[in-house]
Amino acid sequence: MWISQQITAAQNRKTAAEVAEVTGAAVMQGEREYRGIPFLGPWGIAYLPPNTAKTVVVGTGSRNACIGAVTQEKGIAPGELLLFSSGGASIYLKNNGDVVINGQVFAAQKEG
């Protein structure tokens, strides 16, 4: 009896977070399949990860949510920000104040 209770309890435990792979439009596969869950991020930024992207799914108490995607190393320094799309568009905010949009550098304005 004790063993069956332990097995049942282990099956009912939810992990706090899971890496899941995108397999379709807003569909992710991890230990189980996730459909129709919200994508959370900073206000004003909307995203939908492409197929095969690795996402992070967490339980929020009432339901699951995707809190972001795992990205490959992009060669940016601490404090910098890179926005990019799977089609190749990018906006890179550099620590020196430069803004790079699709490879075109907009140098920071010098004061004085």
Q: Tokens for 92?
A: 């890179």
pLDDT at 55: 95
Query: pLDDT digit string (tens) for 41-91?
Result: 999 999 999 999 999 999 887 889 999 999 888 999 999 999 999 999 999
> How many whole angstroms from its chain centre is CA 94?
21
Question: Is a pLDDT exceeding 80 seen at residue 31?
Answer: yes
Where is average pLDDT lowest: 10-14, 23-27, 70-74, 76-80?
Answer: 10-14
Question: Is a pLDDT exceeding 60 seen at residue 10?
Answer: no
Measured CA to CA, the distance from residue 24 to residue 28 in angstroms comes to 7
Contacts of 74 (CB under 8 A, 6+ apart): 82, 84
The residue that leads in pLDDT, 6 or 48, is 48
Q: Residue 87, SS3?
A: coil
CB atoms within 10 A of CB 49: 19
| H, E, C per residue of 6-69 | HHHHHHHCCCCEEEEEEEECCEEECCCEEECCCECCCCCCCCCCCCCCEEEEEECCCCEEEEEE
pLDDT at 112: 66
Residue length, the chain?
112
pLDDT at 6: 66
DSSP bridge pairs for 78:
none
Question: Is a pLDDT exceeding 90 seen at residue 92?
Answer: yes
pLDDT at 22: 94
pLDDT at 50: 92
